[in-house]
Chain A
Amino acid sequence: MKKSPLALLLTLGLLNTPLSAFAATAPMDLVGPVSDYKIYVTEQLDELASHTRQFTEAVKKGDLATAQKLYAPTRVYYESIEPIAELFSDLDASIDSRVDDHEKGVKAEDFTGFHRIEYSLFSEKSTQGLGELADGLDKDVKDLQTRVAGLTFPPEKVVGGAAALLEEVAATKISGEEDRYSHTDLYDFQGNIDGAKKIVDLFRPQIEKQDAAFIAKVDKNFVSVNKVLAKYITTDGGFETYDKVKDNDRKALVGPVNTLAEDLSTLRGKLGLN
């Protein structure tokens, strides 16, 4: 097929441009969504603080049933903003570390936070001796609120948070390993997904400007994931335990989750952020 010299020239021209073909989003256009995201995170943390207080009160009162009931709905507020919480790795460790992160397992002195309490509530089925852990959790959540209030959110961390949340899901939620004693992983799963979708929604106008087809694909995959999760919503608005998730549903989740992880990993690049 013969090409005209001009077409050849254009092809050559395209081949010579640097591969960063995405025009950077005007920085002023990012100020609105970044600050809206901080407002969202602040609100989520306010909810986390008040729900955690109720949860720890039940624990300290010895009300096992209530504590068990409040465990998962409280965590959702943490899971939705996890990328920001993770910026404070010491707090993330003391609030949300899992037993495998500790060599001495459940006996480890530095194993604190939600999952350590989860172990007592759901595995040992007891609230005995949890007073200090409960107080510690309250304190850590308050600490997190203070630190986030003082943090200027770097825009690339905000936008990158969507991908980070999907990585969380792909690496830990698909297997049901996060809440291994209570099997309430679906709550966390939904929290991660909602948090990621929030970020996409805040930056939607800017993303659409760069790549409308991309945002349509991302939306479709969110719908797929939410559809499967919705199958497991219980009558009281919570979720079934993870062991109830059928194998074919687990597989139905993996595809869109991995695809979302791949797609959202390009978000920063598309918006011209590092």
Chain B
Amino acid sequence: MRSLIQLSDVEIDSLIREPKTAPASLLPLRLIERNKHRRKDYPVSSTSGNEFVIAVRQAVPNPLNFSVILMYRVPGYNTLFRLCRYNGRHGKHTNEIEGNKIEDECHIHKATERYQKLGGDEEGFAIETTRYSDLNGAVQCLLADCGFAPPPPNPQGNLFAGTTP
């Protein structure tokens, strides 16, 4: 069981809000399929020198089961810290500390100090959302919420190409 607090709530909020540039290759999404899920990780750097990764996942049997994750590479640590995760509909989620359940709806996970103290995953807390209903919508929400400059215009005019069969 982990007990170490890697990042405080203030640090988490600051990292999420920090200005970043969306990777040029992010949109339209072109994911690689392996093990019956599509995925791709996009490195993101910021002017501060902090290193982030946007990880995109989508299950092939159920394309509504997807995740868009903003991760942060904590200097000196071996693993990536998941700051927030925009999930699709994969079934229920339970907030262990608050005791409430989210039914089969889109929800946004966010890292917190209290869930790190609990010893579970840092982003164990989630709130239900109706702001998006598909993978591309989740990507747009993450970009809007996490300090990203607007993505470059798409020359093909089809933001949603190459994501779902």
Do A and B share a complex?
A: no
- B→A interface (CB under 8 Å): none
